[in-house]
A and B are shown apart, each in its own frame.
Chain A
């Protein structure tokens, strides 16, 4: 039981490049989330998927797109990376609306030059 896994762990991009961050969970959770963590800002929600087939914007969705590929997988895409997207990205999942525990992946550290 791996919990929530994320790939890659580290990535360096040049401004304007695109990439997809992958996330998978093996806990049969309905809901999945993407957050970014910046110094002094806590975690901010980018997008979430309440259930398979649905996605919704969070606090800071601009510059990102998501795909809920199936119940297990939820990917985050940066179409044209900008230095302001340098951050640590966390994927999380939960079995119900966030009143229950969210389980977090280990994170992806992204640097955009």
Chain B
């Protein structure tokens, strides 16, 4: 099992640019979560899906953030336009029963 796969591992972009983060969950897992981690705010849940349907997006900070899950094996988190305060590590996680399996994360730096 390859686990949860995220890409890219690192992203450096200029303020105002569009950023797309990608996630491939573990096959068979019916829940998918996007988290953001910073020193100041810790792990924040942004949005989660169940069977590809967004269930709770109340953690999405602004309209600049959007997430999609077009099928059971792929999800994206898009930031447009990006701002320096979006710099963080973004984790995708998937789950079947109770424990979450996290991907290795995408470290985003917006300059």
A and B are interacting partners: no
